[in-house]
Amino acid sequence: MPESAAPAINIKRCSGCGRCVAACPERIITLETENHHKHAVITEPQRCTDCGACIAACPIEAISSEPFSP
């Protein structure tokens, strides 16, 4: 199996706006709150189709196309 190509989320930079959650056609992104900071998480990176919709949706470039490393 090739490695998942799911993007990586910079959780420190992420504002938790939820646009990537809405944009993902696979519905594999969710918002979590950690230490009072809301940020996006890719819950099932293995299901990512590498469509790039989340990257395009993010207004502050908090998602990159670098391979997700679990």
Contacts with ligand SF4, residue ranges (CB under 6 A): 6-7, 9, 14-20, 23-24, 26, 28-29, 40, 42, 48-54, 57-58, 60, 62-63
Rounded to a whole number of angstroms, the distance between the first and last alpha carbons of the chain is: 15
Report the number of secondary-structure helices (H) and strands (E) in the chain: 2, 4
Distance in Å, CB of 20 to ligand SF4, minimum: 3
For ligand SF4, the closer CB: 60 or 66: 60
62: left (phi over 0), alpha (psi -120 to 50) or beta: alpha
